[in-house]
Structure 1
Amino acid sequence: MASKNTNLTNALELAKKYDYANVENEFDLLLSSNQNDVLSLYYRGCTRIHFNKYQLATVNFDAAISSLNLSTKHEVQALYQRGYIQCLNRAKENNSNDVIHKTHFSIGTVHATLGKNEQTLRHFNHAIKNSRDSTEDTSKIYYLHRGRACAFCADFNGARNDLNIVIKESNDPLLRGCAHNELDQHDQAIKEFDLWFESDLRINNISRPLVETLDDHA
């Protein structure tokens, strides 16, 4: 039992350092001695997501959930992670970057709501990567949200860089105003909000989904 606890502690400490290759090895060791160890199954599933081993991760989550020995807290998380994998798989089946980047953004906002800022950042990175030439890329809305996520991760330089991209490149004065506001540039923010108020984006209700997304994230 002591060896099991030591391996589990080591694995979780390695995870805090993002050393996922060794994390996976630790859980492999634990499961080699007890293939029904539900916590190891759960955590190895989480680890495999970082390597995009979605099918193997799903196998681990299925085994952990079906054991009926997983705590309620971990069972809810396992169900969520499995659902996340299913969302990504559906997006890839559609073979559309438009679906993929929106899926990543949606998952990122869920993580943001749960206060899981590092996971939030990872999904916003994927959203930006897959959104080239999209409406979201033109508006730079993902950069606004990633800037906020960077701030929550104490990456203030990254936050400033993303918010400045919104200010310089966004075609939407509402989002530019939000970026100025995040940087405490309130006079500039008011000017941008005034522009948006008089713009076709507001008059034609084009910005409404963006506003709702911002409200949801906040």
Structure 2
Amino acid sequence: MASPRWRGALAVLAEMRRTPGVTRAAVAQRLGLSSGSATDITARLRELALLTETPAAAGGRGRPTTVLAPHPDGPVVLALDLRHEDWRCAVAGLDGRPAVLNAAPHAGREPERAVAAVRQAVRRAHARLGDRIRAVGVAVAATVQDGRVVQASTLGWGPVDLTPLGLPGVPLRIDNDATLAGVAEARAGAGAGAGTALHVTVEVGVGGTLVVDGRPVRG
């Protein structure tokens, strides 16, 4: 549980993520913050390199305000997507918007070659972003159990160890792509605000998940 001092800061970051391009004045109004409190919170978040502020376009008579956005040197998550024909490596900041860094078709059906290619992309991203990377997430079109690929029928893979895609000291999360897509939709997409959401993916195969209170139901 966040301390009262940081509860407001977390709420401001959540609003920035929920509404790209939101202004400090709009965030203050939504959260019931005074202008002084909002200014103090955003100043602390700037010092921590979590957000940046730029002057908002003039509109009306009110006091000048600013547009909130993720800090250009702020923390990011590295997102890896292993699909049946290709792979992608993307990075996402506090606004949750992914930017693709690398993508390529699979170099054959051998899992070792595919993992090696993605591993190279991870190393390049780490060389560029360094300690800004706070977590690595891997979405894979496969049956995943306890963070390990058990079988990937569309890829023609059996059991595969994907832990080499991680970085030392950085949390690594590996899960089925349809499960992660369902969680994303439930938390920030079409199912946002619903206590229970069913997500079904129909592509090369059929997958999906039931999400209750923002968490996938296992089993």
Q: Which has the higher contact order (CA 8 A, sep 6+)?
A: 2
Which has more helix, going by share of residues? 1
Do the two structures share a fold, i.e. TM-score over 0.5? no
TM-score (norm 1): 0.27
Q: TM-score, normalised by structure 2?
A: 0.27
More strand by share: 2
